[in-house]
Structure 1
Amino acid sequence: MMKLILSLTLIWALSSTAGALQCLSCQNDQCTNPPSLTCSSETMCVTASIQVSFVVTVPQIIKTCAPSSECPATGSQAFSFNAGVLQAVASLQCCDTDNCNTETLPFPLPQPNSLKCFTCDPLISQCNSSQLQCKGAEDRCFKVNVTIGDKTSLFSGCASANLCALGANLSSLPLLQGFGNISKPSCCETSLCNAVTTIASDAGCMSLLLGVLIFTLRFFEA
């Protein structure tokens, strides 16, 4: 009986591993000859070229397994986020066959579009005085709470519709990882539709931005 149980367990383990998706897995300089990773529950492979700007511009290349929330279908897509002091843009390509994420995408160069959105100025704790000219795939205005440690601040600006669609899963997206806990955003489609009534505290905003700067510089050094 014990031999039968062990045999069935081995067959199940082998069949489970055989059915799992394999994706190339690397980051930045490691992507010259990337190893293959066995995905767990992810159903897609992704290759992404990301640029995060906060005082300095940090380019990132990422290849890995991706959940359906980030890659709902195969093909290319662009993510874009602009909160004035903090900007992030990404080109992603999703695929669903073993080790299909071989391509390294060019970094996005978004051009201004017709949408304008309010943004928050952390130096004066005012969210309706500054306006942003949105770029590229940014076709929504947004406002969102970002928490790092015990500090929560309100951010607003321009975003692409697919970022809004991710809802409360924004923190898991590679281009926004490390920026704290991000709440479900409130998004709208017309210029200057994201006016806010809540005023963030100076200490909260500045502590948050300092945390983002430290993370960005550490990533750049790595």
Structure 2
Amino acid sequence: MDLQISVFLLFLLFTAGHSLRCYECWSQTGSCANQKETACPAGSSSCFSSTGVSQVGGITTKAMSKGCIDVCQSASYNYGYARAYSSCCYTDLCNLPDPPDPVPNGKKCYTCDGNGCSKTLSCTGNEDRCFTITDNIEGPLRVGKGCLSKNLCDASSYSCCDGNLCNGAQSVTQSFLFLCCSLLSYFLLH
């Protein structure tokens, strides 16, 4: 029994001062060649790696960052012309390798481009939901559509759905029929 207590106290002695260590970097070239080790501040429970890719007019830009974080969730979103994905790990220096580009997972969603929102997009990695988001901040109404991880749907203002191409616009005929049926039921019930 005394041996078990001694081993437990020895374990506490060696782990009490240990803080998580992660690789840290910020790169706009798409690879973290100059990453350095860093001791995470108290409260950081995980290391992360995140990558953002955008395509504008045939030019692709890729940025990457790594470091310590308090709360981390592996997640991904894809607008078609811009996407970002992150991964988390929980042991010392576990975020050394650059995360691989996610591979297509078979799910398809609608995305928007300059001609409308009828183009299809192949979702990748853990993107298991389609989304639609609208905003009219400082200008006309804008709509965005694409693929998203479920955990981002739960924690955001995105309108998410769970089927292939489920984020497409309803046709005018369907909306008109729904309106007519609603009005008819209102008059019949009142």
Matched pairs, number: 146
Match of 1:191 among 164, 173, 181: 164
Query: Contact conserved, 1:48 with 1:93, CA < 8 A, in 2?
Result: yes
The aligned counterpart of 1:110 is 102
Structure 1 pair 110–146 and aligned structure 2 pair: CA distance change class (3 A): farther
The aligned counterpart of 2:79 is 83
The aligned counterpart of 1:94 is 89
Shift of 1:146: 5.8
5+ residue gaps, structure 2, are 1-15, 27-31, 171-190
Residue 58 of structure 2 is aligned to residue 61 of structure 1: no
How far apart are the structure 2 equivalents of 1:84 and 1:108?
18
Please give the secondary structure, in 2, of the residue aligned with 1:105: coil
Q: Identity of counterpart residues, as a percentage? A: 30
5 Å-filtered alignment, 1:61-210, equals 61-67=65-71, 70-71=72-73, 77=74, 79-90=75-86, 92-95=87-90, 100-121=92-113, 123-124=114-115, 126-127=116-117, 129-145=118-134, 150-151=138-139, 153-165=142-154, 167-168=155-156, 184-196=157-169
Shift of 1:43: 4.7
How far apart are the structure 2 equivalents of 1:132 and 1:33?
36
Residue 88 of structure 2 aligns with an amino acid whose one-letter code is: Q
Shift of 1:89: 2.6
Shift of 1:158: 1.0
TM-score by length of 2: 0.61
Query: Contact conserved, 1:21 with 1:44, CA < 8 A, in 2?
Result: no
How far apart are the structure 2 equivalents of 1:32 and 1:158?
30
Please give the secondary structure, in 2, of the residue aligned with 1:138: coil
Structure 1 pair 37–133 and aligned structure 2 pair: CA distance change class (3 A): closer
Match of 2:39 among 30, 36, 40: 36
* 1:147-206 per-position Cα deviation (integer Å, ceiling 9, x unaligned): 7x73563211111222223x23xxxxxxxxxxxxxxx11111111111247xxxxxxxxx
Give RMSD over aligned pairs: 3.1
5+ residue gaps, structure 1, are 1-17, 72-76, 169-183, 198-222
Shift of 1:48: 0.8
